């Protein structure tokens, strides 16, 4: 069975057909995904990448909709006819919009098929328990059901949140089960990559850790998810950053805004030193990013956000530098909101953040859940958690104060 969606099989087929297949280098093909402004009912599907090295083909991510299976299979079969024998599937992350067609590798006709998954991503790819666990962990910082009912998929869950957090949670649980139904992640046959099996590589003054697959490096950056990977082709100097470069970060409570800031600094220096000639990511697309900005009635903060990919050293530095600045601005604006308020709950900090005139903060505020999976409340709680901000309880309120 393949992914079915919340309403069985009602997929935005005409939009999906606009996805392009781009040969971004002689050895790397990008199968463009899809983004809408209706997250739960027309969920995103990531860009998938097929990388070739000799008789090895590395498939990175598999998207959401069954529609993309044919496109992936066509590229995989072309390589097989052209002499490839070994197929390896790896994921930038275990989130559903990157894993729902994982079982496509079983249909590609390769002699050897492997699925490699970092051990720290096993929790993420357990889709239902990961989502429900993420919401449960937030309860230590605020009550998302009661204080942010607008973040949930249906009016029924939103209304329930005002009455009872437990009721909202049980209704949300049903919605999540529907959202993820039909997905075979193949997690049960993944070869688990142990953290202590990572290799360290140094380029100039930048070091990364991860796993080698053929000539490609799977860099464990731990940004968007604990086991998030970026992929690097040292021969053609191509860097594929998955969701490490994404305007909605930190998308989950277990994403890390701190790590996003640090990793973007490393990747920008990596590019500055001449190691990156092409970079793109898990959702970058001139079509969909452009449409998204128009839908929300605004332009990008930087024009580099609405390209398909950055080409050449300077554009790559601009892309990675934009995200370093973007994430640093988000963190700074949250901490400055806290400093101004003195002592505040997560909802009060969200309101203060929304008043920021910083262009990055204003973009983050504009991309709202449930149209887009961008949650200012999750980001605020993430900053409180990662910076060890002290808090105290006053009845149902959880109050944070500057250190
Ligand atoms: Fe994604």
Q: Please say whether the beta carbons of 56 and 238 come within 8 A.
A: no
Ligand 1 midpoint to CA 391 (Å):
32
Ligand 1 midpoint to CA 33 (Å):
10
Distances from the Cα of 96 to the Cα of 110, 181, 200, 367, 374, angstroms: 25, 10, 29, 20, 16
For 272, phi and psi rounded to 5 degrees?
-60, -30
* Residue range 272-281, pLDDT digits in tens: 999 999 999 9
Ligand 1 midpoint to CA 97 (Å):
6
Q: Please say whether the beta carbons of 100 and 82 come within 8 A.
A: no
* pLDDT value of residue 183: 96
Q: Determine the Cα angle at 42 with ends 38 and 43, to 5°.
A: 90
5/216: higher pLDDT: 216
* pLDDT value of residue 261: 98
Ligand 1 midpoint to CA 316 (Å):
20
* pLDDT value of residue 265: 98
Q: Please say whether the beta carbons of 203 and 275 come within 8 A.
A: yes
Coil, strand or helix at 81: helix
Ligand 1 midpoint to CA 95 (Å):
7
Ligand 1 midpoint to CA 102 (Å):
15
What's the mean pLDDT in 351-374?
90
Ligand 1 midpoint to CA 146 (Å):
27
* Token pair in block for residue 254: 């277990």
**Non-local CB neighbours of 57 within 8 Å, separated by 6+ positions:** 50, 51, 76, 79, 80, 84, 86, 87, 88, 110
* pLDDT value of residue 91: 98
Question: DSSP code of 303?
Answer: G
Ligand 1 midpoint to CA 397 (Å):
32
Ligand 1 midpoint to CA 42 (Å):
13
CA count, 13 A, side-chain hemisphere, 347: 14
Lowest mean pLDDT among 9-13, 104-108, 117-121: 9-13
**Non-local CB neighbours of 82 within 8 Å, separated by 6+ positions:** none
* pLDDT value of residue 39: 86
Ligand 1 midpoint to CA 88 (Å):
20
Residues 387, 107: Cα–Cα separation, whole Å: 46
* pLDDT value of residue 293: 86
Residues β-bridged to residue 192: 117
Lowest mean pLDDT among 11-20, 165-174, 244-253, 382-391: 165-174
* pLDDT value of residue 147: 86
Ligand 1 midpoint to CA 137 (Å):
21
* Residue range 111-137, pLDDT digits in tens: 999 999 999 999 999 999 999 999 999
Q: Please say whether the beta carbons of 38 and 7 come within 8 A.
A: no
Residues β-bridged to residue 397: 394
Ligand 1 midpoint to CA 399 (Å):
32
Task: Check pLDDT > 90 for residue 158.
Answer: no
Residues 149, 169: Cα–Cα separation, whole Å: 11
Ligand 1 midpoint to CA 385 (Å):
23
Task: Check pLDDT > 80 for residue 18.
Answer: yes
Residues 17, 98: Cα–Cα separation, whole Å: 18
Ligand 1 midpoint to CA 269 (Å):
25
Helices (H), 82-233: 96-99, 122-125, 127-138, 144-147, 155-163, 165-180
Ligand 1 midpoint to CA 125 (Å):
13
359 upstream amide cis, omega within 30 of 0: no
Ligand 1 midpoint to CA 343 (Å):
34
Ligand 1 midpoint to CA 281 (Å):
9
**Non-local CB neighbours of 378 within 8 Å, separated by 6+ positions:** 138, 250, 251, 252, 253
Task: Check pLDDT > 90 for residue 62.
Answer: yes
Largest CA distance in the chain: 67
Task: Check pLDDT > 80 for residue 154.
Answer: no
Residues 189, 283: Cα–Cα separation, whole Å: 27
Burial classification of residue 367, based on how many CB atoms lie within 10 Å of its CB (0-12 exposed, 13-18 middle, 19 or more buried):
buried
Cβ count near 212 (within 10 Å):
11
For 296, phi and psi rounded to 5 degrees?
-90, 10
Ligand 1 midpoint to CA 369 (Å):
15
Banded pLDDT at 355 (limits 50, 70, 90): very high
Cβ count near 163 (within 10 Å):
12
Ligand 1 midpoint to CA 256 (Å):
15
Ligand 1 midpoint to CA 98 (Å):
6
Ligand 1 midpoint to CA 46 (Å):
6
Exposure string (b/e) for 1-36, b if CB count within 10 Å is 16 or more?
A: ebbbbbeeeebbeebbeebeebebbebbbbbbbbbb
**DSSP character string of 46-60:** --EEEEEETTEEEEE
Of 95, 90, 182, 183, give the one whose Cα is nearest residue 131. 95
Ligand 1 midpoint to CA 22 (Å):
19
Banded pLDDT at 254 (limits 50, 70, 90): very high
Residues 368, 352: Cα–Cα separation, whole Å: 16
Ligand 1 midpoint to CA 403 (Å):
34
Ligand 1 midpoint to CA 378 (Å):
16
* pLDDT value of residue 285: 96
Of 58, 93, 130, give the one whose Cα is nearest residue 282. 93
């Amino acid at each position: 069975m393949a992914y079915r969606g919340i309403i069985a099989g009602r997929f935005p087929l005409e939009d999906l057909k606009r996805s392009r297949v781009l040969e971004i280098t002689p050895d790397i093909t990008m199968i463009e995904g899809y983004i809408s402004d209706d997250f739960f009912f027309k969920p995103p599907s990531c860009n998938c990448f097929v990388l070739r090295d000799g008789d090895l083909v590395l498939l990175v991510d598999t998207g959401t909709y069954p529609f993309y299976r044919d496109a992936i299979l066509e590229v995989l079969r072309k390589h097989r006819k052209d002499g490839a024998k070994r197929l390896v599937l790896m994921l930038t992350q275990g989130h559903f919009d990157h894993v729902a067609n994982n079982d496509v590798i079983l249909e590609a006709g390769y002699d050897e098929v492997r699925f490699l998954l970092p051990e720290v991503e096993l929790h993420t790819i357990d889709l239902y328990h990961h989502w429900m666990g993420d919401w449960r962990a937030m309860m230590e910082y605020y009550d998302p059901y009661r204080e942010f009912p607008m973040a949930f998929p249906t009016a029924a869950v939103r209304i329930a949140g005002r009455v009872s957090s437990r009721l909202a949670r049980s209704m949300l649980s049903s919605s999540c089960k529907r959202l993820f139904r039909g997905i075979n992640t193949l997690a049960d046959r993944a070869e688990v990559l142990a953290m202590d099996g990572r290799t360290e590589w140094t380029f100039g003054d930048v070091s990364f850790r991860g796993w080698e697959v053929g000539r490609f490096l799977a860099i464990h950056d731990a940004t968007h998810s604990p086991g998030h990977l970026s992929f690097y082709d040292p021969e053609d100097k191509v860097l594929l950053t998955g969701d490490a470069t994404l305007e909605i970060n930190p998308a989950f409570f277990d994403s890390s805004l701190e790590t996003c800031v640090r990793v973007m600094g490393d990747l920008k220096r990596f590019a500055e030193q001449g190691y990156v000639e092409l970079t793109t990511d898990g959702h970058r697309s001139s079509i969909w990013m452009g449409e998204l900005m128009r839908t929300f009635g605004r332009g990008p903060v930087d024009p580099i956000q609405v390209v398909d990919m950055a080409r050449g050293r300077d554009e790559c530095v601009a892309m990675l530098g934009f995200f370093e600045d973007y994430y640093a601005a988000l963190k700074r604006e949250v901490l400055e909101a806290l400093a101004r308020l003195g002592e505040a709950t997560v909802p009060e900090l969200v309101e203060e953040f929304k008043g920021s005139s910083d262009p990055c903060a204003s973009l983050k505020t504009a991309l709202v859940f449930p149209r887009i999976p961008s949650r200012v409340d999750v980001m605020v709680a993430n900053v409180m958690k990662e910076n060890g901000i002290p808090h105290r309880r006053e009845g149902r309120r959880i109050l944070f104060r500057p250190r």
